[in-house]
């Protein structure tokens, strides 16, 4: 049957475009000597290693856990180097393709949007359209610009309509394409806000007094690419003549100590800071929106994964933020609230000392603009699944994170 053959042919072509990860492993290395650090950095130069944590080879230091993804063809070299030099290590993920395949729970994939699944961009986009028309008195939407590939970046505004301008919180998800739990949280947050307004006294008072702007997916082009072509993509998808490497790290592209530390000026690096601050249109669109609304935005919250951290400025310098002790106190309160549900432990502190110094982040930029309560969440887990957190963990992760975000929101509201 010709039609069946043709169909198989088309499917084969479609599949051929998808990067597969058979036999790849994710290692956790524990460098305890300067020599180990040097070796890891050299290894990263000579073979293709994908840094999961920290985000790049430059950020490797002594006494931190280093999670790296190693393609199958390099496994022998890596094992040899680790063994010859006595670098302590464990295998976090035995077979990455199996982990990619295991991420989705094995119920049949629904055709529609689901809060407990990782929705692709098409589903998120239609969800944005339907949820924003579902409850016109509590939610509205506005497009803040298009992505590099032309997709609309829509911000949802949650809050009881009021005659006067209200103070606001801005939250974004999905700056990094492969951190799929992050957009899942923004969707969950919107659903919870709408469904608990009127019954939950804190949510009711929050949305009566304030607006919450939610950008469900910041790096839409990258997110779409992780669904269609390469699950491990991190950056945007912008192109420049003169380089065959695609994209920049949107969280190194903001104008906060831009490209001075913990970022790369190499367009091929996963932490490429871009050609100029806000060279990535997605970063510019968000920065423009926050600048335009800077008098009302009191808090900036950005959701990443993984590591279970609640970070605040600064990351581009070791100097403490002017509001350090208050930011720390709120972060610790939020972490305690989060932990109260399922016992999940978070570490809080300034980015530079809590993970690593890295300039050009949206959190530091918003803070220096005057948005005092600026927080970066690194959601579950601590490395068992990393970016491939199973769908069965979406619900508990979102539930516990809600408590932390609501804690921050309540504090901001009390201190307007």
Pair of tokens at residue 37:
């650090």
Site stretch for Zn ion (CB under 5 A), options 8-16, 202-210, 274-282, 304-312: 304-312
CA nearest to 184, candidates 269, 306, 85: 306
Q: How many residues bind ligand ARG (CB under 6 A)?
A: 13
**CB closer to ligand ARG out of 192 and 363:** 363
Contact letters for ligand ARG, residues 148-177 (x by CB under 6 A): ------------------------------
φ/ψ (deg, to 5) at 40: -65, -40
State the nearest-atom distance from the C-beta of 362 to ligand ARG, in Å: 7
- Of the chain, the end-to-end C-alpha distance in Å amounts to 69
**CB closer to ligand ARG out of 36 and 234:** 234
Residue tagged 């890891």 (tokens): 40
Site stretch for Zn ion (CB under 5 A), options 101-109, 121-129, 301-309, 395-403: 301-309
Give, for 379, the enclosing helix (H) or strand (E).
strand 373-379
Q: How many residues bind Zn ion (CB under 5 A)?
A: 2
State the nearest-atom distance from the C-beta of 129 to ligand ARG, in Å: 30
Instruction: Tell me how far apart the alpha carbons of residues 214 and 231 are, in angstroms, rounded to a whole number.
Output: 24
Helix (H, G, I), strand (E, B), or coil: what is residue 128?
helix
Contact criterion met (CB below 8 Å) for 157 and 140: yes
Q: Which of residues 164-193 bind Zn ion (CB under 5 A)?
A: 176
Contact criterion met (CB below 8 Å) for 84 and 78: no
Site stretch for ligand ARG (CB under 6 A), options 70-78, 213-221, 360-368, 404-412: 360-368
CA nearest to 14, candidates 6, 22, 24: 6
**CB closer to ligand ARG out of 204 and 260:** 260
Contact criterion met (CB below 8 Å) for 221 and 250: no
**CB closer to Zn ion out of 159 and 313:** 313
Q: Return the residue of 183, 247, 274, 351 that touches ligand ARG, per CB under 6 A.
A: 351
DSSP 108: P
Contact criterion met (CB below 8 Å) for 252 and 362: no
The interface partner of residue 183, options being Zn ion, ligand ARG, none and the CB cut-off 5 to 8 Å by kind, is none
Where in 48-104 does DSSP place strands (E)?
Answer: 50-53, 66-70, 88-93
Instruction: Tell me how far apart the alpha carbons of residues 404 and 340 are, in angstroms, rounded to a whole number.
Output: 10
Residue tagged 């969800």 (tokens): 127
- By CB under 6 A, residue 311 contacts ligand ARG: yes
- By CB under 5 A, residue 304 contacts Zn ion: yes
CA angle 74, 76, 79 (to 5 degrees): 105
- By CB under 6 A, residue 381 contacts ligand ARG: no
CA nearest to 407, candidates 380, 370, 373, 379: 373
Specify whether 378 is catalytic.
Answer: yes
Q: Return the residue of 24, 50, 55, 270 that touches ligand ARG, per CB under 6 A.
A: 55
- By CB under 6 A, residue 178 contacts ligand ARG: no
State the nearest-atom distance from the C-beta of 408 to Zn ion, in Å: 19
3-state helix, strand, coil in the chain (%, to 5): 40, 20, 40
Q: Return the residue of 89, 231, 304, 372 that touches ligand ARG, per CB under 6 A.
A: 304
**CB closer to Zn ion out of 231 and 304:** 304
Q: Which residue in 179, 192, 282, 378 is the catalytic one? A: 378
- By CB under 6 A, residue 251 contacts ligand ARG: yes
Catalytic residue positions? 378
Which residues of this chain interact with ligand ARG, rule CB under 6 A? 55, 251, 304, 311, 315, 351, 355, 358, 361, 363-364, 376, 378
Which residues of this chain interact with Zn ion, rule CB under 5 A? 176, 304
């Amino acid at each position: 049957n010709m039609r069946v053959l043709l169909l198989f042919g088309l499917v084969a072509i479609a599949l051929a475009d998808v990067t597969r990860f058979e036999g790849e492993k994710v290692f956790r290395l524990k460098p305890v000597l300067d020599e180990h650090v040097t070796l890891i950095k050299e290894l990263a130069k000579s073979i293709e290693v994908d840094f999961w944590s920290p985000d790049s080879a430059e950020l490797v230091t002594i006494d931190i856990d280093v999670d790296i993804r190693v393609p199958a063809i390099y496994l022998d070299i890596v094992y040899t180097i680790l063994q010859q030099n006595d670098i302590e290590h464990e295998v976090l993920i035995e077979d990455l393709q199996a982990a990619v395949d295991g991420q989705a729970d094995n119920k049949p994939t629904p055709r529609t949007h689901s809060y407990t699944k990782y929705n692709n961009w098409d589903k998120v986009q239609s969800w944005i359209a339907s949820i924003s028309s579902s409850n016109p008195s509590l939610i509205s939407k506005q497009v803040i610009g298009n992505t590099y590939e032309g997709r609309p970046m829509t911000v949802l505004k949650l809050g009881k309509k009021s005659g006067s301008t209200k103070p606001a919180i801005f939250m974004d998800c999905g700056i990094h394409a492969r951190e799929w739990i992050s957009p899942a949280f923004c969707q969950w947050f919107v659903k919870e806000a709408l469904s608990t307004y009127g019954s939950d006294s804190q949510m009711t008072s929050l949305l009566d007094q304030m607006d919450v702007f939610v950008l469900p997916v910041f790096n839409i082009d990258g997110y779409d690419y992780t669904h269609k072509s390469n699950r491990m993509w991190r950056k945007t998808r912008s192109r420049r003549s003169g380089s065959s490497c695609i994209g920049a790290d949107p969280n190194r592209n903001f104008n906060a100590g831009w490209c001075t530390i913990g970022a790369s000026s190499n367009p091929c690096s996963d932490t490429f800071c871009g050609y100029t601050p806000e060279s990535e249109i997605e970063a510019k669109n968000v920065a423009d929106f926050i600048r335009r609304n800077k008098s009302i935005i009191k808090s900036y919250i950005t959701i990443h994964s993984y590591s279970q951290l609640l970070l605040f400025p600064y990351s581009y310098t070791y100097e403490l933020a002017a509001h350090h002790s208050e930011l720390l106190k709120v972060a610790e309160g939020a972490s305690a609230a989060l932990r109260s549900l399922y016992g999940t432990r978070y570490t809080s502190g300034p980015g530079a000392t809590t993970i690593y110094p890295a300039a050009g982040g949206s959190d530091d930029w918003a803070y220096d603009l005057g948005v005092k309560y600026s927080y970066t969440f690194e959601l579950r887990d601590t490395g068992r699944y990393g970016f491939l957190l199973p769908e069965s963990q979406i619900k508990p992760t979102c539930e516990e994170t809600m408590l932390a975000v609501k804690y921050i929101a309540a504090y901001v509201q009390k201190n307007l």
